[in-house]
Structure 1
Amino acid sequence: MPEGRVAVTRAEDGTVRIAGPSAGPAFTRAVLDVAGAVLTWPVLGPTGLPAAEIHDVGQAQQWLWALYGDRTATAVDAVASGTPAAELTLPEQPTTALAETAARLALGHWAARWWPTSHLDGIPALEPDVLGLELAALTHECQQLLDEPEELEGLELLEEHLVALDPLIRWRHSAAPPRQLDRVLRLIDDAADNAGLDGEALRRLRSALEQDHRPTATTATPLDIAELFVRQQEFALAAGSGSPRTATGRVIARGSGTNDWCRCPPGFVDAAENAVSWTAYALGAGRRIEVEVVAGVAAPTSGVRLAAEVRVEGSPPNRVPLARRDDVWAGRADLDIAASTTPGIEVGILLPGFDPGPGADDRAAREAVRALARHRLGVAAAPHDSEAAHPDPFLAEIAAAAAVEEDF
């Protein structure tokens, strides 16, 4: 097996690091909070053992040996006690089931936050309840890694997304269910039993697992996977839809704005690079800008409004509130621009109070994430092809791929 060298180091604040934090923007990293540490995997490229930032070595010792091996656990303990940094040779790929499941759980949390849903790019949304239940199952499977808050988060996921349980049971009784579905349902049943959870849906699950009279390919009723789950919102947005522009002056400039995924919650805005557009008008001696943003699949609560951040010739940003109209966020504002000039305008979008501030232009990284999503959907479209489906796609990806096939 190929092997690689990693460093175990200690920072001034006492944090022990294995290999160090992954480079790249936040949306290219899969992150998992575990007992005493934060683990990070790269989403783009091969996924091996994670980088780790360990803030409580005592807590981390409950899983370090299982994830990295005894030599790494010993090195972490020594470095935390003041021994100079160590360099170790570790496998480039996980060698234990726990390591593989942890990587999958982290990737599932990444998908819940960063999946690039876009009508413009043809990337469908992942059904959140289906993904949530699989994350609950994976959380239960990773108990050795977690402390009480993370374990409770798994139970909260289970309770929050129980609406998808009956459809998953029906899917299990179809002619060709995904190969991980039975294990996901059994983990959900075990997690609920351990926590003392009860309810009609969980009782139906237990009964189905106990009977286990699944039909064969010849006796099963055909199942339309695309219609199996209640889709929270029809994925039928159209670029430029919504109310017409209100300005009637002369157009002096127009362009596309920056769609920085880190500055908005998931699903608020279509993830396409060209989802943000703006037009500047001359209205007599005045100047006005109108901004339109193709909306995503999430419906924000009442009173939540995005904003456009408008810079003219490098000036301090002006915030333009955006209101949602059907499938578009839109807003307009007057600009302080000399009548004789053709302005250089930059427009970005954000949710005030949410965003961490503008970062670097990560267009290439965003396109790589879109390519990854398309690839995973392609694998999900053939979930029974053992070679193509390694590693297994998430159940939500299989459902999304089926929806795409039906649409076309």
Structure 2
Amino acid sequence: MARGSVDVHVVRGDDGTIRIVTASPVGAPDFTRAVLDAAGAVLTWSVLGSPGLPMAEIHDAARAQQWLWAVYGERVAGAVHACATGELTDARVPTDPTPLAGSAARLGFGHWAARWWPASHLDGIPALQPDLLGLELAALTHECQQLFDDDDDQPDDCVAKLIGDHQVALDPLIQWWHATPPPTDTARQLESVLRSVDDAADGAGLDGPALRHLRSALTQPRRPDGTPVDPATLFARHDDYALAAGEPLVTGGRLIARGSGTNDWRRYPPGFVDASETAVSWTARALGARRQIEVEVVAHIAAPVTAVPLAAEVQVNDGPRNRVPLSRRVDAWTGRADLDLPAGDTEPRIQLGVLLPGFDPGPGPEGGADRDAVRALVRRRLAAAAQLDTHNSPSQEGTYGPFLAEIAAATTDEDY
């Protein structure tokens, strides 16, 4: 992050909300923004631009004062206080960027990666190992504790839960650390994460075999034996997944039309659907007097195998939107339903998307160019992570340097 002073716009809205407006674009799609819930405010960064100071929407200025000065500097904190007391409604204020601003940006990006990373067999983008990413998020959250307070309205202040949910990755993380030569950037990053997790677990009163092993490893002299390890193998998960497995969804009948649907990442949780633009496809067939649509959606490698209400939303010729229930068959979600087509209509205009009912915010703008920009971003990051693992001299994306999960993903030898 640049250390020079940058002006931000501090403004009080009619509803009392105070906004700190930076150069980040407004109105960008959800999947291009990193978001962090802090004490009394929500912080937002664009992941597609250069890392910088966040936008802030402050709903409780008194609570936010504990971290405002440490992220934006004292002048911005003073302007927010003046807005809160009614002395000021609008001001341009120079900032004094601080180390906490960089750590907060990295934490926000880590949460973005956990939610929006576009893992895809079709596009050749490997998934991030969730337990490895979760432990690094725990370490970063611990380092950014000044952003949070004791209230329970900050879901991103979740150190104990992150450690509890992802401690299965501690032993392989220690193995990776022991096998990595001390002078390297990766070794320093590994040790920093392990020590932060240990400190956070101690502060939260957590215990258990994995954490006791961690504490023992950190108190013993480290003697790397020079034996190389493959991070991708250390953290590999063996899922029941094989691309193009299972029987093809073919029902016979006369082919009317086929096409691709829209793969809007906002409409289902992470880990359900392959992120490729070509992951959603459909085929319309004539079966005597009936008209039927068959839907096939390539599943994410981590897609749940238990029953979930994933569905396709089908619209024919600008008519009503109808939902087709989908079921998982190893590597794909599939389903079929009858179509209501006007007599003689042999080339229907069909729009189709995939969603999880109850989670779905509804269809949004097309967004294909933004999704392509995200894919380009993660490909650059994976290339930098591979360079770091090999040469320890990556071209970093600002404060969003490669996470350990990205370094491990960049070394995978799976079919991506």
TM-score band, normalised by the shorter chain? Answer: over 0.9
Contact persistence 1:119–1:235 (CA under 8 A)? no
Q: Which residue of 2 aligns with 1:320?
A: 324
Measure the CA separation in 1 of the matches of 2:403 and 2:5.
28
Quick check: 1:54 aligned with 2:63?
no
Q: Which runs of 5+ in 2 are unaligned?
A: none
Q: 1:132 aligns with which of 127, 131, 134?
A: 134
1:44 matches 2:34: no
* 2:403 matched residue in structure 1: 394
| Cross-structure match for 1:311 | 315
Cα distance in 1 for partners of 2:189, 2:383 equals 18
Partners of 2:370 and 2:95 lie apart in 1 by 27
Q: Does 1:220 align with 2:229?
A: no
SS in 2 for 1:184: helix
Return 5+ residue gaps in structure 1 as ranges.
none
Match of 2:89 in 1: 84
Identity %: 62
> In structure 2, which of residues 230, 237, 250 is the aligned counterpart of residue 231 of structure 1?
237
Taking a change above 3 Å as real, the CA distance of residues 387 and 394 of structure 1, as seen in their structure-2 partners, is closer
Counterpart check, 1:17 vs 2:19: yes
Residues 22 and 41, structure 1, Cα contact 8 Å, conserved in 2 = no
1:340-391 CA-to-partner distances (Å, cap 9, x unmatched) read: 1121111111011110011101000000001111111001102243352464
- In the TM superposition, what is the alpha-carbon distance from 1:19 to its structure 2 partner? 0.2
Matched, 1:72 2:79: no
The separation in 2 between residues aligned to 1:244 and 1:180, in whole angstroms, is 46
Q: Give the residue type in structure 1 aligned to 2:363.
A: P
* Residue 117 (str. 1) matches residue 130 (str. 2): no
Give the distance between the partners of 1:126 and 1:271, measured in 2 at CA. Answer: 13
Letter in 2 for 1:320: V
1:387/1:127 CA distance change after superposition, 3 Å: closer
- Structure 1: distance between partners of 2:37 and 2:180: 37
Of residues 60, 63, 70, the one that matches 2:67 is 63
Paired AA for residue 118 in structure 1: S
Change (3 A) 1:137 1:224: same
Q: Which has the higher contact order (CA 8 A, sep 6+)?
A: 2
The residue that corresponds to 1:208 in the other structure is 217
**Cα distance, 1:234–1:373 mapped onto 2, change above 3 Å:** farther
DSSP 3-state at the match of 1:7: strand
Structure-to-structure mapping, 1:251-262, within 5 angstroms: 251-262=255-266
Q: Distance in 1 between matches of 2:201 and 2:392?
A: 32
On the 8 A contact 2:5/2:95 being kept in 1, the answer is yes
By how many angstroms is 1:55 displaced? 0.6
Letter in 2 for 1:211: Q
What secondary structure, in the 3-state scheme, does the structure 1 residue paired with 2:50 have? coil
Change in Cα spacing, 1:330 to 1:64, as seen in structure 2 (3 Å) is: same
Work out the CA distance in 2 between the residues paired with 1:279 and 1:308. Answer: 13
Aligned length: 399
Per the alignment, in what secondary structure is the counterpart of residue 130 of structure 1? Answer: helix
Question: Aligned to 1:166, what secondary structure does the other structure show?
Answer: helix
Partners in 1 of 2:394 and 2:129 — Cα distance?
Answer: 25
Query: Structure 2: which amino acid aligns with 1:181?
Result: L
Partner in structure 1 of residue 189 of structure 2 = 180
Counterpart in 2 of 1:289?
A: 293
Deviation (angstroms), 1:267: 1.2
Task: Tell me whether 1:195 sits opposite 2:197 in the alignment.
Answer: no
Q: For the residues of structure 1 that align with 2:371 and 2:332, how far apart are their CA atoms?
A: 22
Counterparts of 1:116 and 1:283 in 2: how far apart (Å)? 37
TM-score normalized by the length of structure 2 = 0.92
**TM, length-normalised to structure 1:** 0.93
Change (3 A) 1:37 1:97: same
- 2:387 matches 1:382: yes
Deviation at 1:237, TM superposition (A): 2.3
Change (3 A) 1:147 1:85: same
CA distance in 1, matches of 2:141, 2:113: 15
CA contact (8 A) 1:309 1:318 kept: yes
Q: Which moved more, 1:190-199 or 1:109-118?
A: 190-199
